[in-house]
Structures are given as structure tokens and as C-alpha cells.
A and B are shown apart, each in its own frame.
Chain A
Amino acid sequence: MESILSFETLSTALRMATPLILVGLGGMISLQSGDLNIALEGMMLIGAFFAILGSFFFESALMGILFAVIAAIFYAVIFSFFIIRLKSDVFVVGIAMNILASGLTVFLLRLFFQVRGSFSDPQIQPLAKIQFGFLENIPALNTLFNNHSLFVYLSWVLVILFWIIFYRTPFGFYVRAAGEHPEVLETAGISVNRIRWMASLICGLMCGLGGAHLSLGYLVLFSENMTAGRGFIALAAVIFGGSNPVGMALTSLLFGFAEGLSLRIQNIGIPSQITLMLPYVTTLIALFLRSRSHLLKRKSDMLRSIESE
């Protein structure tokens, strides 16, 4: 038992939380600006694939990141084109784009690498790992915080950055106003659509980073549908966080912990299928508890609990 809840597990949790945090930040800014982004999963998957592509062909992790970000932003542009310009239904476009991403990455996998299932190659450069010399002397902290891929640290820096943006800069205000009461912005002379577009591009950027971490962070491979629902787990974390990036990040940490735990438990003989369920069940329980506590507060209002986003 003690080996399950060790610093190793917590270290894994940090690692597993990173893509959730990155994608979650993107989802959060999108949601704050008034657009519920259901296509996080698809964007992340696109990012993951193109990261491998870039890194393979240019033998550089940086190119991988660049490819991932550009591809994901491009995907976000298409999404926003439908949502903002054509005012199409968010769910229809989002679901379609998720399915498209799945099919597209499988197709491109075959096209570029002539394989089915997954692709890995020594030519692919993973993300750099950062080593903090001063941590090596403290074993516990060393396990926990040292030697992680660059993005793990970056994600937390970004959490703080996003908080500052949301609550201390005009742009953050505009984003929040766009989601809450867009006419206010219009009468202040600020284009709501411009804000929504910018939020969407940032979302694409973050999903690209998240996807890149997924495929280049530790495993250094791409496999079909490797996001495995993480885009939706991130969405759940966003719902939890409300308008607070820190809350979302902590929730992502929780979900990352569930993932890490599920890997550990496999070592003590529980079938992998059961352990793999852990992150999803955790997310569901978390959502349930949150909704229930909200509902108890709003028990007296049937009409208001019809949430319309």
C-alpha cells in the first residue's frame, strides 16, 4: 500500500495533470469569452499528432512544438469561423470537429508514416527535461519536482499568468465581459467578436501545447485517439474552476492523481481495464458532487437551474 501513495505517484500526478492544465487554460479562456469549446479533445489530438510530425521530420522538439501549436491554432480558427462568423451550433461543430480530428490523425498517420495504431521512432525528439541542481539534495522534493519535462513547470507558470491576465489586465476584463454581458463591450466601443477570436486563438495555442506534451513529453509516440477523453476531463476541470485558473489547475491535479494512481494500482494485480477506469470515474464523481452541492443551494429554483450556455 505504501508504495502506491508515494512521492512517485505524486510526481506522476504532476506529469499527468500537465496536459489537462494546459488544455484547461485554453478551455477556460474560451468559456469566459462566452464560447463553450467542446472541441478541446480534437484540438489536443491534432496538437499531439503534429508535434510528432514536426519533431520527426526536423529532429527537433522545438519544431514539434511549433507544428503542434500552428496546427491546433488552425483548427481553432476553423472552429471559431463556424461559431463566430456563421453562428452555427456549438455542439454540432464541436462534436463534428472531434470526430474529424480522430479520423484525420489516423489518416495522416497512415499517409506519413505508413502505420496503423501507433508510431514511434528514435528520430523523434522529446521535450527537454529540466534539472534543478539544488533539489538533488532533498530526496522527497527531488522525486516530486525535479526532472520533469519543461511543460510541467511551464503549465504552472501559465496558470499564474492567466490569473493575472483575467483579473489585472483590460484584456482579461474584456474576455469576462464578453462572456457575461457582451453588449457592455459593444457600447464601450470594443468588438466582442474580436475578443472571442483572440480567446479562441489562445485556446488553440494552449491545446497545441497540451497535445505536444502528451506525445512528446514522456512517451514520445503517437497512437490513435491517444487523448482518450482527456479533453473532456479538462473540460470538467474548467467547469470546476469556474472563473479561477488556480481552481481549475488544482482540479486537474486531482484528476492527474487519479491517472497516476491507476498506473500504480496495476502493479498490485488489479486488471488494467479496471484501473484505467479510475480517472473517468473520479471525474464523474467530482462532477456529481459539485452539481449536487450546487443543486442543494439552488433547490428552490427549478427555472433557474435550466442552465443555458
Chain B
Amino acid sequence: MKPNNKWMAFLSSSALISGALLVNVLFGAIIILLIGSDPVVAYKSLLHYSLGDPVSFTNVLTRATPLLLAGLSVSVAFTAGIYNLGGEGQIYLGAFAAALVGFSLNGLTTPIHLSIIIIAAMLAGAIGAFIPGWLKVKYNVDEVVSTILLNSVYILFTNYLANYPFRDPTRWSGTTLQVLDSARMPVIYRSTELNAGIIISLFFVFIIFIIFRSSDLGYRWKIIGLNKRFSMFGGIASGRDQLIAMIFSGSLAGLAGGLLVTGSQYRFWAQIGGGVGWDGVLIALLANNNPLGVLIAGLGFAVVKTGSLAMEQASSVPSELTNVLLALLILFITGRKFAFILLQRKKNLVDIQE
């Protein structure tokens, strides 16, 4: 198959992805049947309680806010050929920084307070990613292992801070004080949780898209990611650019954490991350590191996650099934090559017979 036409390539690739999606949905249906529930009821309730009415949809958008940033964070790093799997930990760093600035700075107006918080959160995340990035660039320490190890370190560290020095004495489990009113994102849809954070997330989707597409930095990242040797041969300072990618990546993750605190949680607590960092990895993989893909995949994730609880209520299918199906989706999509191979085999058989 030689799709010379760009459209043909796009269509055939979308067809295969849709195929994978379909297989995934069917697979889920089979599992639901095996559990003894009704897949139709399950899926219907999932969609209904996420897309069914405006309020549910605001929940989806609220959910999507940190997911988009997490996905972008991983995409930026992966594009530049460096594996930042430390998103979860960096989210915790950003969340804590946001909470700290959020409850300790008094007497500021909301826009100023939020701006400072955003910067603090991004800075905290950036530092969190800079460390393993620097270890990789300067000392060739494998970043897959180091970022994952640092996840635990950062999560434990921020938890320590929330349990001891910065603990809220009025609560029995380790959390920080609540952030001040001036540190809360304005709600943009009455009486829902939907806050201005979503606008910030969408803004960064746009920024990263522009960087990838048209900027010199984006070009350099792409080349480094595709062939580091070649980039160095051509004079690109790959170490420096990868470090910059890590800084961007960490900042985005940190911001996700910050938005979690200022947008809905209003304090830092033990499991504030909630696996968003890992969702971000899946989103980036699904999106093939493309910012627009991150948007679509991120929203998809948000829909599924928002609806999963309702699905459990309506059909007693454990909500955790959605996590399983989302992870499986990557495998199905990666496996779409298999369908390709099968088709090619049939084609070759036909050719030989001629």
C-alpha cells in the first residue's frame, strides 16, 4: 500500500485506529457480559452521565483540565526523544507549590495570586523534571528509570511536607491548609466545578501546537527525537534542547497539579495526583505526541473517566474497568499493524497465484 496522497494516508490510518477502537469497545462488552452485566446498559450510562447533559459535560471538562496538560507534558518530552515518565511526581510538586503559595500569601487579588501560583507550580514541576533531565544529558543516566524512581521520591517528599511542617492542624490526615479565596480559580459555569483552568489548558494545547508546527525549537526537538546522532552532526545542541524539553514538560505537569489544587481540590492532600500523570502517558501514546491528538484523546479519557462511576452505579460493573480498557486501547492501536500484516499476506498470496 503506497498512499502517495496525504489524504489517503490520513484516511487509512484513521480507519485502522477506529478499527482498534471498535475492537476495544467490543472487548469491553465481552468482559462486561462475562461479569454478568449488560454492556448496553453499561455503555449507555457511561455516555449519558458524561455527555448527556451540560452539567455532566462540565464535569468532563473539569476532569480534562489536568489530563490535557499531562498529555502535553509527555508529548513534548517524547517528541524530543527523552522519556519523561515522571509526570505523576511532577504533578505532586506543582500541586504542593500551588497549595503553599495559595494559603500563605495574604492580601492579594485573585488574578495576581493565581498568576503567582501558576508560575510557582510550573517552576516546581520544571525543577522536578530538570533533575532527571540533567542527569541524562550530562551523565547519561537512563531517564526511564530515573523519572519513575523520582515519582516515588517526589510523592513521598510532598506528602512528608503535608504531614509535618505544613500540616493543617485542624485535620487528622495529612493535608495542607486550604488555599485562600484569592487562590481559587473562578468558576465559569454556574454552580459547577468547571473553572477557568480549562481555558488555561486549552491555551497550552494551542501553544504547544504552534511550537511543534512552526517554531525552530519544535523542529529541533523533532529531529533530536527522530535521530539524535544526526541532530548532533548537524550542529543542533541536543543536550541543551532536550533539557529545555524537560523543563517544558515538567512545567506542564506542574501546572496540571497547580490547576488541580486551585481549580477543584483547594488543598494539597495525599493522593491529589490520582494517576493523572500516568493517564497523561497513555494520552500522549494514543495521540502519537501530536497536540491536537492530545486534545482529542484527553477529552476522550475525561469522558470515559467521568462516566465510569455512573456506569458502576447503573450496571455494577466496577469503574476500574475503564482504566483497563484505556490501557488496552494502546495495545490494540499498536497492534493494528497486525491487521496490516494479515492484509498484506492475503495480497501476497493473490500475487503469487497470478
Contacts and interface: CB of A to CB of B under 8 A. Distances in A.
Partners in one complex: yes
Interface of A: 38, 78, 82, 85-89, 91-93, 95-97, 99-100, 102-104, 106-107, 110-111, 228-229, 232-233, 235-236, 239, 271, 273-274, 276-277, 280-281, 283-284, 287-288, 291-292, 294-295, 302-303, 305-307
A244 B263 CA distance: 51
A107 B321 CA distance: 6
A141 B179 CA distance: 55
Contacts of B282: 96, 99
A107 B229 contact: no
Taking residues whose C-beta sits less than 8 angstroms from the other chain, chain B's interface range is 35 or more
B331 A291 contact: no
Contacts of B151: 229
Contacts of B144: 38, 91, 232
B323 A103 contact: yes
Contact of B163 (A99, A104, A107, A273): A273
A157 B229 CA distance: 42
Nearest to B334: A88
B139 A236 contact: no
A82 B35 CA distance: 28
B19 to A, nearest CB: 15
Nearest to B146: A284
A95 B135 CA distance: 21
Interface of B: 35, 83, 85, 135, 139-142, 144-146, 148-153, 156-157, 159-160, 163-164, 228-229, 232, 278, 281-282, 285, 318, 320-321, 323-324, 326-328, 330-331, 334-335, 337-338, 341
Contact of B146 (A87, A95, A111, A287): A287
B160 A100 contact: no
A291 B139 contact: yes
B312 to A, nearest CB: 10
Given A287-B145, A306-B229, A96 B330 contact: yes
Given A96-B334, A97-B331, A110-B320, 8 more contacts: A100-B331, A232-B145, A274-B160, A277-B156, A280-B153, A283-B145, A291-B141, A303-B229
B237 to A, nearest CB: 12
A147 to B, nearest CB: 30
Contacts of B341: 86
B334 A277 contact: no
B146 A96 contact: no
B67 to A, nearest CB: 14
B321 A232 contact: no
B232 A280 contact: no
Nearest to B228: A306
16 contacts: A82-B334, A86-B337, A86-B341, A92-B330, A99-B282, A99-B327, A100-B328, A107-B323, A110-B320, A229-B149, A232-B145, A236-B149, A273-B157, A280-B150, A284-B149, A288-B135
B35 A96 contact: no
B324 A100 contact: yes
Top 10 closest pairs, chain A to chain B, by CB: A103-B323, A100-B327, A273-B160, A96-B330, A107-B320, A110-B318, A291-B139, A273-B156, A280-B149, A103-B324
